[in-house]
Amino acid sequence: MAAIQNLLEASSLFPIPSGLSFSYGTAGFRSDASVLSSTVFRSAVVAALRSLATGATVGLMITASHNPVGDNGVKIADPDGGMMTQRWEPFADRVANAPDPHSLVQLIVQFAEEEDIPLGGMKSSEILLGRDTRPSGEALLEDAKKGISAVAGVVAVDMGILTTPQLHWMVRSRNKGMKASEFDYFSQIANSFRCLIDLVPKELLKNKVEGKLIVDGANGVGGGKLEELKVMLTGLEIEIRNVGRDGGVLNEGVGADYVQKEKVAPSGFGSADVGTRCASLDGDADRLVYFRVLSPSSNTIDLVDGDKILSLFAVFIKEQLSILNKKENKDIASGLPARLGIVQTAYANGASTDYLKQLGLEVVFTPTGVKYLHKKASEYDIGIYFEANGHGTVLFSEDFISRLEAKQKELASSCAGSEYHNAALRLLAVTQLINQAVGDALSGLLLVEAVLQYFGWSIQRWSELYHDLPSRQLKVKVADRTAVVTANAETQVVKPLGLQAVIDAETVKHSRGRCFIRPSGTEDIIRVYAEASTQEAADSLAQSVVQHVASVLGSGNPQK
């Protein structure tokens, strides 16, 4: 069969690197860029098969997000714009690690038969390709194109240099029959941002948030894209630093991951910025955190992380729903019932969870990983998820959007310009502004700015919604991470037997103590997270649990 022979010949040009193995996780495949050629080629084959299997457009992004500039990676976007279905991840692993071209082709043919995927070119599908600004990206993109062309009936469409969320948005839009260019992306989020700003109540305009926003672009793709978007925005003054020019190195001393983990200002920020509202993107602009520099003599900051971004969005959306559902609203037959859910992982600071529950919101937990958060959030009419690292979004069900659109039309005819009508318009604008496919630092940033304008809040007022509990994260090397099995969204140890009881005994010694452990997904390390009412207590709890883990499993020294 010609299609199989073509795949075999193309695969022979991409031998796998000796002594290495690759695993497809939440972030796709990532490694040093110099060893990724065969992995990218083979991932492109998987993406092509996924497109044939679904009969829809699929995306493939070349990026390593917040990793160092020497790394790169590849991830696949499913037809809904989300991450590739978890059911295909084991297949992607086997494809990436097949020892030779014949084994690879045999694996693909067998899988195609099981999944009823045509390999003879009878169907036609497309893959949207994107890459970030890493120097290795251009060559790896060419490897991806060769992988796609090796599968009959599938074509590659190069969308150019993009943020990761832009590519996900384009895939989702293309499959919904909507315009899906980068200009369309910019236009949609700029227009919806403008709509939200125009809907700020006039009585609140006197509390308008003053001052510009300064954004750290992580010397990555996001800074340049924000420069392009900036010219389409009204009502927001933005200064962008660390755009990637003038010798700045991607993710080196800059970026959301650096700021969130180190809790210091990124390079290029200093004494002149004390008190100013600042934000930081990561290398491919799917993470966002805010901060303000506290002292002119140091780079210490007040960090406003993903937990507080989630809380800000939750307060705003809850208020709009409350307005729509006011009992004294006599202008419409009924309100707009909606199930609003907040989705977190065990790494969310306990103070944020307490705050959200005190608001009367439903809070649920999933295992660590965006793929778990996103799936759970999609079960609600409105589902909000964010990790502390700043990756997250707001999901609206298609049914809720339809009901919201109908309600907006009803209100437009009966009480246009009322608070009820404006609340419906705000929620509709949010559905257009926030990226429904994946966490997006650019759209998230605009939604933050619009909500701060709506409430008239400074970054300090926002930061004071609640005060984080002190915490400590440690990791300890073990002989075999699979010896630890967890349950209840990774908050309880099932195996080894008796270890959870020991953790509980240590935890109750501390006021507001909370502690859990979980195995790393990629290396023989057990991660330990602890919280308590003081930093000293959180440190003590974490250290005690590390010692117990070490004594049970055997390990090296604990590491931060």
Question: Distance (Å, rounded) from C-alpha 317 to C-alpha 334?
Answer: 18
Pairing of strands 514-519, 71-77: unpaired
Checking phi first, is residue 234 left (phi over 0); if not, alpha (psi -120 to 50) or beta? beta
15 is in an annotated binding site: no
521 is in an annotated binding site: yes
Q: Are 243 and 217 in contact (CB under 8 A)?
A: yes
Say how many CA atoms lie within 13 Å of 14 toward its Cβ.
31
What's the token pair of residue 275? Answer: 């008190």
Long-range contacts of 87-94 (CB under 8 A, 24+ apart): 88/46, 88/50, 89/24, 89/25, 91/46, 92/24, 92/29, 92/43, 92/46, 93/22, 93/23, 93/24
Please tell me whether residue 474 adopts helix, strand or coil conformation: strand
282 is in an annotated binding site: yes
What's the token pair of residue 84? Answer: 């590739």
Question: Per DSSP, what are the bridge partners of residue 156?
Answer: 127
27 is in an annotated binding site: no
Residue 7 to residues 236, 253, 528, Cα–Cα distance (Å): 51, 43, 45
Q: Is 267 a catalytic residue?
A: no
175 is in an annotated binding site: no
Question: Per DSSP, what are the bridge partners of residue 32?
Answer: 71
Q: Which of 65, 125, 471, 544 is catalytic?
A: 65
284 is in an annotated binding site: yes
Residue 289 to residues 180, 185, 302, 374, Cα–Cα distance (Å): 27, 22, 11, 19
Interior angle at CA 426, CA 423 and CA 428, nearest 5: 110
184 is in an annotated binding site: no
387 is in an annotated binding site: yes
Please tell me whether residue 228 adopts helix, strand or coil conformation: helix
The verdict on whether omega for the bond into residue 496 sits within 30 degrees of 0, i.e. cis, is yes
520 is in an annotated binding site: yes
440 is in an annotated binding site: no
3-state helix, strand, coil in the chain (%, to 5): 45, 20, 35
522 is in an annotated binding site: yes
Q: List binding-site positions for Mg(2+).
A: 65, 282, 284, 286
Q: List binding-site positions for substrate.
A: 387-389, 518-522, 527
User: Hey, which residues are catalytic here?
Assistant: 65
Q: List binding-site positions.
A: 65, 282, 284, 286, 387-389, 518-522, 527
